[in-house]
Structure 1
Amino acid sequence: MSHRGCVASSCNYLEISAIGGNLVSNETIRAVACAARNELRLPFAALSLGSSEFSCTTSLFIRDVMVMPQTFAPCAVTAAGKDVCVIPQLPLEHEDSGSAAVLRSYAGCPVFDRESHCVGVFYVMNTKPCRFSPAGVAQLRVYTQLIANHIEILRRFGIDGPDPSPREIVCRADRVARQGRHNEARRLITLAYTAHDIACLRRRQQTSTLS
């Protein structure tokens, strides 16, 4: 997977590529990342997607544009594990002289697909050492699951048009249930809840921006 991305003019973030070259919906990922950043009161939120070995990753940052090294060690450690990885104080060798700030603390959660394969890491960082509370770690898991479900929605519905609405997903679930595929229908209902939750996040952010 090659790096591909451009800096948007209206806000600082990088467009990112998902597995297989499919572009993740920037607006949706940005809404989730902004919500996580605001909830945890941290300056940076990022999503890295790449190979299972993380030999190639691309990151999306909110607020400041920075591209981490392809072998950013905390992401590799998180991807190798099964749960949240918290590093209250990063060693100084993770200083990036080309970045807008020095990253000193990290909390990341692996993003799993439906087959339980790790496809990426969603993480938050700070420019100073800090402790992450149990409530903050739990919230990071919630936002990571939103991203994982959103990636599944894109894979199921395609990425050529706008994100499917919760109603569209429920309609597909109804058709699937009529075919007797009840487990599949239940999974689609879960994804419809995800689409609804993300839509609410986006509306809240649009409202706060206008106010």
Structure 2
Amino acid sequence: MKNKQQILRICEILRSAYPDVKTQLLHRNPYELLISTILSAQCTDRQVNAVTPALFTAFPTPAALAEAPVRKIEGFIRSTGFFHNKAKNIKACAADLATRHGGVVPDRLEALTALPGVGRKTANVVRSAAFGQRAVVVDTHVKRISRRLGLTRQEDPVKIEFELMETVPEAEWNDLGLRMIYFGRQICRARKPDCPNCPLFDLCDYPEKTV
């Protein structure tokens, strides 16, 4: 496990490599970000961004999406994969927003995770990107990289989230996850990490890293 100085150094290197980061899901408001994040499960941000402009033109509010037939929703999101379940989830989520929250996306973790189709990762994306709250988002990239770097030994994303919150300075929470996502896509890939060009090579505990 990393000590405090090593953690600060990791944060510094990632901050230098990726100084300006933001979610790559296109959105204009919390509602669009919430629905887009639900759709991003098992799908690339690029593909989500390809379908959401038409989706939100057709259903610009939670009430409009809640009233739409599931089959019509499926037609917009088919290419994101698992579209049957996703259509049901975003329709149910929109219905909850419309009936229980006055059409407004809540900013509290407990309220967000009570919405259909919304887990901690999705809730933290919305809290961080839409509301500017401090949150650690743990997706597959963050899980993989945190373990390779020795920031955690946990497997469960929730346990990883809490461990990172304990060890990483709070000011780094929001951007660290995003930087790891950028880093995971470009360098520390799942199947073939680019270890020779990795700026974190000397701080990495990954036993299979290559020179």
Same fold, judged at TM 0.5 (above)? no
Structure-2-length-normalised TM-score: 0.31
Asked which structure has the greater RCO (Cα within 8 Å, sep 6+), the reply is: 2
Greater share of helix: 2
Greater share of strand: 1
Structure-1-length-normalised TM-score: 0.31
Larger Rg: 2
